[in-house]
Amino acid sequence: MEATNPATGEQIATYDEDDEGDIEAKLRTAQSTFEEWRDVPLRERERLLENAGEVLRENKERYARLMTEEMGKPIAQARAEVEKCAWACDHYAEYAHAYLADEHHPSPPGTEVKTVHDPLGPVLAVMPWNYPFWQVIRFAAPYVTAGNVGLLKHASNVPGCALALEEVFEEAGYPEGVFQTLLVGSSKIDGVLRDDRIRAATLTGSGPAGRTVAETAGNQLKKTVLELGGSDPFVVLDDADLEAAVETGVTARTQNGGQSCIAAKRFVVHTDVYDEYVDRLVDAFEALTVGDPTAEETDVGPQADPDLMAELHEQVTQSIEAGATVVTGGEPLDREGAFYPPTVLTDVPEGCPADTEETFGPVATVYEVADEDEAIDVANDTRFGLGASLWTDDRERAQRLAREVEAGCVYINQMTKSDPRVPFGGIKDAGYGRELSEAGIKEFVNRKTVWTE
């Protein structure tokens, strides 16, 4: 398993994959550890999670540089990712006991009826490369604190990050086996998921990968949570604060090289402000610094892999051939590394790749709409339903329209984001289930009714 720097094409390191014997040993360890870990008092689990947050902060620079080297994230954004992971640890260290408190129900006189929250067992997590620390911590922090144990199958291009995350839990003082990394390819996942010792699974990734995991888990009657990407609308109405909507829109489309499930991908703009908004958006895109991800001034680094950049460019090329207009960008940069420029497409024809597919890179498609009804129609015209961003100065109007948007979350005058304090997840082809907050920590517990006469 090789790690390659996408900014230079240089091989960073080579790692030995786990063989069948290694997988069996880790599954055995997970099961035996769970039998003890489930009985560790919740307050002690919270204390260990607080330690994990401290480990992340102490090693912030090293972990950030590892992310930057393996998948090309600009270094300032990589540091912010580590800080966000530490924040998530702090959050669950403080609130897990409240989220998992017994729930009491009405019952006959002389009886007590309550719901308690017991852990399920070893949970398999199949995680992507785009936020190599955050995606894992937002799985591990709640589920491990609830008393489960975790086995991570990380993306094959970030093996160093996978092992570093295992290190976080070791350094924090967790018992051996509470969190383990499986260095295996995707072909091994089906067998691991079928193993009786795995009780649940969570996946963040592509639709085909999610369907495969869901099919296997469903056949085994195992609980799953899936986050499968999106084509999030960024709706700008006629009374929006254009300066704020441009500034936030640029960040929402281009941070992390545009490689985010909840990135703003389809800009739906009211005709009264369309021309001005497009002009401002293009100017802001062209002002971004694209280059060396280790440089502090870099806004957009390389795409994580040359093949992924080629797929993105093919989507853009096919959309242009179908009639879309390139306002800026649209061609890979003529330099070493997988660099793609921030790109704006207008006049996007219905049914072309930029209209119907998820573009996983810094490509914004812009649609002109006549009124709010058409804006909602265009926003909902997608098989995805992860997040949405809605811009208007009328809060009552915003609240009303937010209920009409078909998505797992709608952010008003703010970019879509995942936050440990609120549930996160999608509908339709974006997946099902929720991560984070109270809803997230309760996805992988047995909500057991206890009736005492």
Express each pLDDT in 47-74 by its tens digit.
999 999 999 999 999 999 999 999 999 9
Residue closest to 85 by CA, chosen among 105, 109, 106, 58: 58
Strand order of the β-sheet with 103-105 is 103-105, 112-119, 445-452
Class of 232-381+387-412 per CATH?
alpha beta
Task: Note if 409 is an active site residue.
Answer: no
Task: Find the catalytic residue in 261, 368, 406, 409.
Answer: 261
- In eight-state DSSP terms, residue 247 is H
From 227, 357, 435, 443, active-site residue:
227
In this structure, how many other beta carbons lie within 10 angstroms of the beta carbon of residue 106?
A: 6
The DSSP bridge partners found for residue 388 are 410
**């389809």: which residue's tokens?**
266
Would you state the pLDDT for residue 246?
98
- Cβ(150)–Cβ(144) under 8 Å? yes
With beta carbons less than 8 A apart as the criterion, state whether 68 and 129 touch.
Answer: no
Global pTM exceeds 0.75: yes
Q: Is 85 an active-site residue?
A: no
265 dihedral zone (left: phi>0; alpha: psi -120 to 50; beta): alpha
CATH of 2-229+428-452, one of 3.90.1150.10, 3.20.20.480, 3.40.190.170, 3.40.605.10: 3.40.605.10
Q: Tokens 């206890």 correspond to what residue? A: 450
Q: For position 172, what pLDDT does the model report?
A: 98
Residue 212 near residue 185 (C-beta atoms within 8 A): no
Q: What pLDDT score was predicted for residue 199?
A: 98
For residue 267, the model assigns a pLDDT of 98
Element (H, E) at 103: strand 103-105
Task: List, for the chain, all residue ranges whose pLDDT scores fall below the cut of 70.
Answer: none
pLDDT of residue 344: 98
> For position 115, what pLDDT does the model report?
98
Count CA atoms within 13 Å of residue 36 on its CB side. 9
CA torsion 404-405-408-412 (nearest 10°) is -100
User: Hey, CA dihedral for 117, 120, 122, 128, is it positive or negative?
Assistant: negative
Question: What pLDDT, on a 0 to 100 scale, did the predictor assign at position 53?
Answer: 98
Helix, strand, or coil (residue 268) = strand
- Determine the Cα–Cα distance for residues 71 and 256; give it in Å rounded to an integer: 10
Q: Strands, E, within 121-238: which ranges?
A: 122-126, 149-153, 179-181, 200-204, 223-227, 232-236
Considering only CA atoms, which of 227, 155, 229, 208 is closest in space to residue 186? Answer: 155
- In what helix (H) or strand (E) does residue 104 lie, and over which residues does it extend? strand 103-105
Task: Give the tokens for residue 295.
Answer: 């440089």
Beta strands in 253-336 (DSSP E): 264-270, 325-328
Task: Name every residue whose Cβ is closer than 8 Å to that of residue 59 and which is 6 or more positions away in sequence.
Answer: 82, 164, 168
pLDDT tens-place string over residues 279-312: 999 999 999 999 999 999 999 999 999 999 999 9
Residue 436: predicted pLDDT? 98
Q: Where are the domains of the chain?
A: 2-229+428-452, 232-381+387-412
Strands (E), 175-236: 179-181, 200-204, 223-227, 232-236
